Amino acid sequence: MTSTHLEALASENGLERVGARPPFFRYLAATWHRRDFAATLARYRLQASMSENRLGLGWVVLRPILNAALFGTIFGLILPDSTRPDNFVPFLIVGFFIFEYFSSTLSGGARSIVGARSLVRSLTFPRILLPLAVVIRQLVELIPMLIVMIVILIVLGEPITWWWLMLIPVMMLMTVFNTGIALITARLTVHVRDLTQIIPLVSRVVFYTSGIFFDLEKVLADEPTLLTLARLNPVHDFIALVRGYMVSGNPIEPFMWWIAIGASLVTFGFGLVYFWKAEERYGRD
């Protein structure tokens, strides 16, 4: 029997190609149907990481605090006073906590497929569940982080206002952005395994260009082109928005919202399609 005969026989009997990438919306429906899998995987991974070291979930909160202390001390001494933002410590704390959310999703997303090879090679399910599980886990970890951040801000004497509630929509938007990033890096590392080596570097670059321990507006005041570029970095805008609503002396400008919303929608939409396109590739080698 020739190949064309077999193909005809298959379609005659209503047989479907195995492992074929389903149409986009059917793919999303299948993903929604198995959402429990992603949520449970996230929960189990979280529990496993908590039992690994003695402080468990404490590290989620301690890491940004220690980072903030280290960088705050070093750059507080090095940087000239003119570039140091007003209200330095709350400024720094917010920067580190919000950045931590981005960087952990970035590195988790990059490992989500390549790090679950035996699972991918033994069971069939929409692969998108793996990067989504990473985002869910980071979102769960974000809650204690935000609580600690708020406590620190209160202790440092920041006035509590109704504007603090704006933290919720900003973080929701950032989650949409992070999901897109996780989906894109999840596929990229499947194509080019070497990228896992570069991810920490990318994370560093975003770190230094997001103005976490210095005020970009002040440092780049004489360089309008660079300043525009820096403002286009969505991570910077998410941090700036949180600072604007929670730390006094940080004005919010409309462009921050526009860039945050635009970048989130574009990254998420592109990420979904980009990840889905390669569904048949995952677990192939």
Partner 1 sequence: MTDATVDTTRPTVIVDDVHIKYKTFASGKAASSTRALLQRQKGVRIVHAVKGVSFVAHEGESIGVIGHNGSGKSSLMRAIAGLQQPASGGVYASSQPALLGVNAALLGDLSGSKNVILGSLALGHSRAEAEENYQGIVDFSGLEEFIDLPMKTYSSGMSARLRFSIAVSRDHRILLVDEALSVGDKEFRAKSEARIRELRDTAGTVFLVSHSMRSILDTCSRVIWIDHGELKMDGDAEEVVAAYAEST
Q: Quick check: helix, strand or coil at residue 223?
A: coil
| Residue 48 sits in the site that holds partner 1 (CB under 8 A) | yes
**Rounded to an integer, what distance in angstroms lies between the CA atom of residue 13 and that of residue 272?**
33
Query: Which tokens belong to 49?
Result: 């990481």
Instruction: Choose between 26 and 218: whose C-beta lies nearer to partner 1.
Output: 26
Q: Of 83-91, 101-109, 121-129, 246-254, which segment contacts partner 1 by CB under 8 A?
A: 121-129
| Residue 26 sits in the site that holds partner 1 (CB under 8 A) | no
| Residue 82 sits in the site that holds partner 1 (CB under 8 A) | no
- Tell me which DSSP letter residue 86 carries: S
Contact 149, 97 (CB under 8 A): yes
| Residue 191 sits in the site that holds partner 1 (CB under 8 A) | no
Least distance to partner 1 from the beta carbon of 2, Å? 9
Q: Of 31-39, 65-73, 96-104, 160-168, which segment contacts partner 1 by CB under 8 A?
A: 31-39
Contact 184, 203 (CB under 8 A): no
Residue count of the chain: 285
Instruction: Choose between 68 and 134: whose C-beta lies nearer to partner 1.
Output: 134
Least distance to partner 1 from the beta carbon of 66, Å? 25
**Rounded to an integer, what distance in angstroms lies between the CA atom of residue 141 and that of residue 180?**
18
Q: Which helix (H) or strand (E) holds 234?
A: helix 234-246
Least distance to partner 1 from the beta carbon of 277, Å? 13
**Rounded to an integer, what distance in angstroms lies between the CA atom of residue 13 and that of residue 239?**
57
Least distance to partner 1 from the beta carbon of 38, Å? 9
Least distance to partner 1 from the beta carbon of 17, Å? 5
- Tell me which DSSP letter residue 132 carries: H
| Residue 124 sits in the site that holds partner 1 (CB under 8 A) | yes
Least distance to partner 1 from the beta carbon of 61, Å? 23
**Rounded to an integer, what distance in angstroms lies between the CA atom of residue 29 and that of residue 31?**
5
Q: How many residues bind partner 1 (CB under 8 A)?
A: 37
Q: Quick check: helix, strand or coil at residue 79?
A: coil
| Residue 257 sits in the site that holds partner 1 (CB under 8 A) | no
Least distance to partner 1 from the beta carbon of 31, Å? 12
| Residue 81 sits in the site that holds partner 1 (CB under 8 A) | no
Query: Of 16, 53, 225, 251, which one interacts with partner 1 (CB under 8 A)?
Result: 16
Residues 88-117 that bind partner 1 (CB under 8 A): 116
Q: Which residue shows structure tokens 């994370």?
A: 203
| Residue 144 sits in the site that holds partner 1 (CB under 8 A) | no
Contact 24, 128 (CB under 8 A): no
Angle at CA of residue 152, ends 150 and 153, nearest 5°: 65
| Residue 23 sits in the site that holds partner 1 (CB under 8 A) | no
Q: Of 6-14, 90-98, 161-169, 171-179, which segment contacts partner 1 by CB under 8 A?
A: 6-14
Q: Which helix (H) or strand (E) holds 190?
A: helix 167-191
Contact 206, 141 (CB under 8 A): no
Torsions phi, psi for 168 (to 5 deg)? -65, -55
Positions that interact with partner 1 (CB under 8 A): 1, 3, 6-7, 9-10, 13-20, 33-34, 36-37, 40-41, 44-45, 48, 116, 118-125, 280-281, 283-285
